[in-house]
Amino acid sequence: MLAQGNAPWFVGWGTLALINAGLAQGKNRNGLLWFVLSVLFGPFATLALVLMPKVRDRLF
């Protein structure tokens, strides 16, 4: 069971993962994959996602 003091940490980490999933979908990337990566790597996944360019749907 989680200790009472750790609850805000888990809520913040989960919120960051949801934000990253939305950000990934906005860049035409797999939101579920980035959600999982964010749960595992947290702010490092956010940094990687922010630095990556948007995936283009078509060439022209």
Dump pLDDT digits (tens) for 23-44: 999 999 999 999 999 999 999 9
Q: How confident is the model at residue 4, as a pLDDT?
A: 67
- Residue 11: pLDDT above 90? no
**What are 5's two structure tokens?**
């003091």
- The residues, ordered by sequence, that sit 6+ positions from 49 with a Cβ below 8 Å of its Cβ are 20, 23, 24, 27, 29, 34
Q: What is the mean pLDDT of residues 10-26?
A: 93
Considering the chain, what is the average pLDDT of its residues? 88
**What are 24's two structure tokens?**
């990934």
Q: What is the mean pLDDT of residues 4-15?
A: 81
Q: How confident is the model at residue 38, as a pLDDT?
A: 96
Please compute Rg for the chain using Cα positions: 14
- The residues, ordered by sequence, that sit 6+ positions from 30 with a Cβ below 8 Å of its Cβ are 24
